[in-house]
Amino acid sequence: MKPEKALIFEMSRPGRVAYSLPACDVPESAPADYIPASMLRSKPAELPEVYEVDVIRHYTELSRRNFGIDNGFYPLGSCTMKYNPKINENTARFAGFAGIHPYQPVESIQGALELLYTLQNDLAALTGMDQVTLQPAAGAHGEWTGLMMIRAYHESRGEKRTKVIVPDSSHGTNPASATVAGFETITITSNERGHVDLDALRAAVGPDTAALMLTNPSTLGLFEEQIEEIAAIIHKAGGLLYYDGANSNAIMGITRPGDMGFDVVHLNLHKTMSTPHGGGGPGAGPVGVKSRLIPFLPKPVVAKREDGTFYFDFDRPASIGRVKAYYGNFGILVRAYTYIRTYGPEGLRRVSECAVLNANYMMRRLSNAYEIPYPGVCKHEFVMSGRGLKRYGVRTLDVAKRLLDFGYHPPTIYFPLNVEECIMIEPTETESKETLDAFVDTMISIAKEAEETPEVVLNAPYDTVVRRLDETQAARKPVLNCSCG
Ligand SMILES: *Cc1c(COP(=O)(O)O)cnc(C)c1O
């Protein structure tokens, strides 16, 4: 058996140091009149005294307890990007990009502005929009930005439109953003095929409709075939169409929201354009708009003069204002730009084709062991139901916990809300057939375990640093300090 790894406080021995500093050239104890006595430490801080290698090993060990895309397969649905190309990191570290300051004169940052300008145009071309802002820092932030522009648009026409329609399969951020932007949300149910119910939509629209927010393909992985009819219903009522393009992997180079009739789109660069997803950011949720919404874009807008130089255009009287400090998360934008340049238009189309192929392959193979509520062709992701395992007392959560023992990050579970015991899988294009097969085999063997030895699944995981956590308490009252001894 391996000896238990000592934690850093247990390794501590008086006098050990992990650093070497130059000799102190100021008085070591500050005079009392310089720092008030109440702010001075009365006894030394309790810090571990260890060697440099111990510190490195401690943090490396902690990092290994985490699961990330560089550790293994990560089939989370509605989270797409599981690929952070290392070349992105190289370009983001170019001195001219990494060392830039937001207050530098524009003449000295022409290259950075050209990159932003080109990225805006690339994303506009990819989505079929007329102009793009790169300011928003996340998908939800992009949604809010788009909705604020929709609000400004209706107000500029003297119209009072207060309602935003969302389908019941929509991502939770959609109704949340609509509420924060000052709208009331109306949820419409999906039909038995998982699509927008046109009759329910017709009944919901009216003179107070500001917009419909739609994800297409939906979070069920289904493409809304009646999208042109949906767009006509909304436009006829005077509303606008908002496209949640957080995960656009299924459509790149194949179809565009702009061509489907959408007026506003946001993309998650951390889901569709290979920028890192972990740790809560920084992210980027650029927003594209059709021409009638251009006046309302956040300012400043990165623009190009006739002589070929670039500048920040602040002269935008109808703008909704600035939505992010400075100009967005620049380092992330450099990574997305690199990804687009690396793949090119043909490569991006191939990404989408392979993402869809992989999802369909897995769905077919898993259909013998799990229920597939919408068995047609899926796009980049698909949903299954673990409802069939309930008769053995096993639930979707237990299947997800058991996956941890086999070294997999579980897929998304219990979302979308309209599928019972939902399991939502998104393999993406970057995984090999061997990886997909190994995961499918594991899922099938867990379904078999559930039937034959349900207690094995119910008590999982066995092989992780911690066993089952109280997830609610873990989120609400996290214990963040080292509880040694
Ligand atoms: C992830 C996601 C969002 C929200 O994006 P954040 O960057 O997490 O704010 C919105 N819609 C869909 C469909 C998503 O998958």
300 C-beta closer than 6 A to ligand 1: no
80 C-beta closer than 6 A to ligand 1: no
**Domains, the chain, ordered by start:** 87-342 (3.40.640.10)
Atom 3 of ligand 1, residue of closest alpha carbon: 139
Q: What span, in angstroms and rounded, lies between the C-alpha atoms of 2 and 267?
A: 47
Listed residue (450, 438, 441, 466) closest to 398, CA to CA: 450
Separation of CA 285 and ligand 1 centre (Å): 9
173 C-beta closer than 6 A to ligand 1: yes
277 C-beta closer than 6 A to ligand 1: no
User: Which ligand 1 atom sits nearest the alpha carbon of residue 219?
Assistant: 13
268 C-beta closer than 6 A to ligand 1: yes
Separation of CA 467 and ligand 1 centre (Å): 29
244 C-beta closer than 6 A to ligand 1: yes
Give long-range contacts, CB 8 A cutoff, 24+ apart: 114-120: 114/310, 115/333, 115/334, 115/337, 116/302, 116/310, 116/327, 116/330, 116/333, 117/302, 117/303, 117/304, 117/310, 118/337, 119/286, 119/333, 119/336, 119/337, 119/340, 120/286, 120/302
pLDDT of res. 485: 40
Q: What span, in angstroms and rounded, lies between the C-alpha atoms of 196 and 302?
A: 37
- Per-residue tens of pLDDT for the chain, all 485 residues: 566 667 788 889 999 999 888 998 887 766 667 778 788 888 888 889 999 999 999 898 888 888 888 888 999 988 877 788 999 999 999 999 999 998 999 999 999 999 999 999 999 999 999 999 999 999 999 999 999 999 999 999 999 999 999 999 899 999 999 999 999 999 999 998 889 999 999 999 999 999 999 999 998 899 999 999 999 999 999 999 999 999 999 999 999 999 999 999 999 999 999 998 866 668 999 999 999 999 999 999 999 999 999 999 999 999 999 999 998 999 999 999 999 999 999 999 999 999 999 999 999 999 999 999 999 999 999 999 999 999 999 999 999 999 999 999 999 999 888 899 999 999 999 999 999 999 999 999 999 999 999 999 999 999 888 889 887 888 888 887 765 44
81 C-beta closer than 6 A to ligand 1: no
Separation of CA 78 and ligand 1 centre (Å): 8
Q: In the beta sheet, which residues pair with residue 98?
A: none
166 C-beta closer than 6 A to ligand 1: no
Residue in the structure block whose two tokens are 């510190």: 55
pLDDT of res. 278: 65
